[in-house]
Amino acid sequence: MLSIAIPEQQAQAALAAGLLACPGCSGPLSPWGYARLREVRMEAGVRQLTPARARCRCCKVTHVLAPAWLVPRRRDSAQVIGQALWLAACGYGHRRIARHLDRPASTVRGWLRTARTSAEDLRGCATRWSVSLDCEHGAVIPAACGLGDALEAIMLAVRAWVLRFGQDTLGPWERAVWLTGGLLYGCSPLPP
Ligand SMILES: [Zn+2]
């Protein structure tokens, strides 16, 4: 899944013009039909989406083009999952977060488990972004947990993005998905 930070119509036009690059080999992507319909649970209501697919002209790998509000392999939006991570870093347990967000406790526990397992990757990815955006930022002060450090690093990277490019068209958690390649996984392609 390739997270896209521009509106869907612009993304499709860029794809048709061969302007989107493969995250694996940087080769040009071509349109390759559509992926299955997805239903994403937002803060309020459900949003439906049929993402475009793209195929790399060089390595032949296909990718799903996803807007940044969609978290790969999850049914809830970036804003919802981001809030859960933030509350967890503030010391809330998964059951309390689940009640607050009106989601099943097992779902929230799954997000937190994945994010905690990936915390070091997320922190590393976000720190590389901050450095590449040339932002003068202080070091992350170690928190009691790896997840807290990862989230602070991610928010510093989001802030560095805004300082570099001005007001963001994406919300902070959406930009976090785009920067990290997934928010829960930290599998982003390297920063430019
Ligand atoms: Zn490729």
pLDDT at 45: 94
pLDDT at 162: 92
Given 13, 42, 67, the domain boundary residue is 67
Provide CB contacts within 8 A for 32, sequence distance 6+: 53, 54, 55, 62
Distance, CA of 84 to CA of 143 (rounded, Å): 17
Distance, CA of 54 to CA of 99 (rounded, Å): 38
Give residue 51's domain range: 2-67
Same domain (yes/no): 134, 48 = no
Which pTM does this prediction carry?
A: 0.88
Tokens of 57: 């002209």
Does any domain span residue 191? no
CA 15 to ligand 1 centroid distance, Å = 14
Beta bridge partners of 55: 30, 62
CB of 178 within 8 A of CB of 3? yes
- Crossing angle for the helix pair 119-132 and 105-117, to the nearest 10 degrees: 60
Same domain (yes/no): 96, 169 = yes
CA 90 to ligand 1 centroid distance, Å = 40
CA 126 to ligand 1 centroid distance, Å = 24
CA 60 to ligand 1 centroid distance, Å = 6
Does any domain span residue 56? yes
Given 67, 88, 105, the domain boundary residue is 67
Burial class (CB in 10 A: 0-12, 13-18, 19+), 161: buried
pLDDT tens, residue order, the chain (192 aa): 888 888 888 888 999 999 999 988 999 999 999 999 999 999 999 999 999 999 999 999 999 998 999 998 899 999 999 999 999 999 999 999 999 999 999 999 999 999 999 999 999 889 888 888 876 666 666 666 899 999 999 999 999 999 999 988 899 999 999 999 888 876 654 444
Same domain (yes/no): 109, 53 = no
The helix/strand/coil state of 191 is coil
